[in-house]
């Protein structure tokens, strides 16, 4: 694996491009995020189609051409220092074949997002660039902690997070170190067999999910199993599993880690011995702490559980 490239730290006044690569978003839904960027001393720069809406079987944030034009502008404009997605939803896969990194290669920028943005982050890692799997500008119906945003700004300014999290009874103990890949499980699954899929060999995989029936969760796990993913990885971090099965809206942190979903995952992984963390606070959940895709991460799972970059 080639050396991963990390963008330089942002200074006060740096310009952050705000774009909508997937689902449509309304201005009022990102007002607080834009205000926060200003409060932190950075300058938000709105993409031309940030608030565009194009209905075509789904409420997209513009046509494919409009969405990719915003993303290519943000990636390659020399004045932009970071790129922050307004939301996920669906649509990022449309853009993969059209993304350009001509100027980006000489001026790498942090890309921030999660959910559907997993495919953009896989694309960047294929090109040896790290990115931030973290909260989008639009918060979910159940909100998000202030710390979830603060930790993103810490990374933008050069910090690397260390997390101590509650020990889960399904954890598999051990200590392992390796580059982090992954994100939303449905998108990790959707990219399998394509040239845009993550390279899982000797990596630590992170997965999280929302709103899937239990059989669909099992199908995705089986696809990873049949593709040999679990034979290749060194460790696994499992984040939020929310609104799974026939559950109604799980609106609080305590209900963000679906017990039966975790049991299904544990059953599928019982023949593997790699260290595994259940209950990591990242995903479509209230406490959504950022992870750095492509960065080296250390998992230490014992009587206490630590994840450090």
pTM of the model: 0.96
CA gap 272, 145 in Å, rounded: 34
Backbone angles phi, psi at 153, to 5 degrees: -65, -35
CB 296 within 8 A of CB 177: yes
CA gap 55, 203 in Å, rounded: 38
Instruction: Give the pLDDT of residue 246.
Output: 78
Q: 208 an active-site residue?
A: yes
DSSP state of 9: P
Structure tokens at 31: 């007002």
Instruction: Give the pLDDT of residue 251.
Output: 46
- By C-alpha distance, which of 70, 82, 75, 115 is closest to 10? 82
CB 186 within 8 A of CB 8: no
- According to CATH, the topology of domain 15-156 is Rossmann fold (3.40.50)
CA gap 258, 114 in Å, rounded: 19
Instruction: Give the pLDDT of residue 100.
Output: 98
* Superfamily of domain 162-308 in the CATH hierarchy: LD-carboxypeptidase A C-terminal domain-like (3.50.30.60)
Q: List average pLDDT for each run of 10 residues in the chain, which is 309 residues long.
A: 92 98 97 97 98 98 98 98 98 98 98 98 98 94 91 98 97 98 98 98 98 97 98 98 75 71 97 98 96 98 96
Question: Which ranges constitute the DSSP H helices of 40-145?
Answer: 64-76, 118-126
Catalytic position from the list 20, 69, 86, 115: 115
Pairing of strands 162-165, 305-308: antiparallel
Query: Which residues on neighbouring strands pair with residue 118, listed in sequence order?
Result: none
Provide the residue ranges of all domains of the chain, joining segments of one domain with +: 15-156, 162-308
Structure tokens at 111: 């890309």
Instruction: Give the pLDDT of residue 1.
Output: 63
Exposure of 4 in the CB half-sphere (CA atoms within 13 A): 20
CA gap 111, 9 in Å, rounded: 13
Residues, the chain, total? Answer: 309
Instruction: Give the pLDDT of residue 253.
Output: 43
Backbone angles phi, psi at 267, to 5 degrees: -65, -40
Catalytic position from the list 81, 208, 209, 212: 208
- Please tell me whether residue 52 adopts helix, strand or coil conformation: coil
Q: 284 an active-site residue?
A: yes
Question: Which ranges constitute the DSSP H helices of the chain?
Answer: 27-39, 64-76, 118-126, 146-156, 185-190, 214-226, 229-232, 259-268
CB under 8 A, 24+ apart: contacts of 305-309: 305/164, 305/165, 305/166, 305/167, 305/168, 305/171, 305/277, 306/162, 306/163, 306/164, 306/165, 307/162, 307/163, 307/165, 307/237, 307/277, 307/280, 308/160, 308/161, 308/162, 308/163, 309/160, 309/161, 309/162
Instruction: Give the pLDDT of residue 141.
Output: 76
């Amino acid at each position: 694996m080639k050396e991963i490239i990390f963008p330089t730290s942002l200074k006060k006044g740096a310009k952050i491009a705000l774009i909508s690569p997937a689902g449509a978003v309304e201005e009022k839904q990102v007002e607080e995020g834009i205000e926060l960027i200003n409060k932190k001393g950075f300058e938000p720069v709105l993409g031309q189609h940030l608030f565009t809406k194009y209905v075509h079987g789904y409420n997209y944030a513009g046509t494919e051409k409009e969405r990719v034009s915003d993303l290519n502008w943000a990636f390659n404009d020399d004045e932009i220092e970071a790129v922050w997605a307004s939301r996920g939803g669906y649509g990022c896969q449309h853009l993969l074949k059209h993304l350009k990194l001509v100027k980006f290669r000489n001026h790498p920028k942090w890309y921030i997002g999660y959910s559907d943005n997993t495919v953009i982050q896989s694309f960047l890692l294929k090109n040896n660039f790290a990115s931030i799997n973290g909260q989008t500008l639009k918060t979910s119906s159940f909100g998000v902690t202030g710390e979830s945003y603060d930790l993103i700004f810490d990374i933008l300014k050069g910090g690397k997070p260390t997390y101590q999290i509650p020990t889960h009874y399904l954890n598999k103990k051990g200590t392992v170190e390796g580059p982090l890949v992954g994100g939303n499980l449905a998108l990790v699954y959707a990219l399998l067999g394509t040239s845009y899929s993550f390279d899982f060999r000797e990596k630590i995989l992170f997965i999280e999910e929302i709103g899937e029936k239990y059989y669909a969760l099992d199908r995705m796990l089986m696809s990873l199993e049949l593709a040999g993913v679990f034979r290749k990885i060194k460790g696994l971090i499992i984040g939020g599993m929310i609104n799974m099965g026939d559950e109604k809206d799980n609106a609080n942190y305590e209900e963000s880690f679906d017990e039966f979903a975790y049991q299904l995952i544990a059953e599928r992984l019982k023949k593997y011995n790699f260290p595994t963390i259940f209950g990591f606070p990242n995903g479509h959940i209230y406490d959504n702490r950022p992870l750095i895709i492509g960065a080296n991460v250390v998992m230490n799972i014992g009587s206490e559980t630590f994840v450090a970059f």
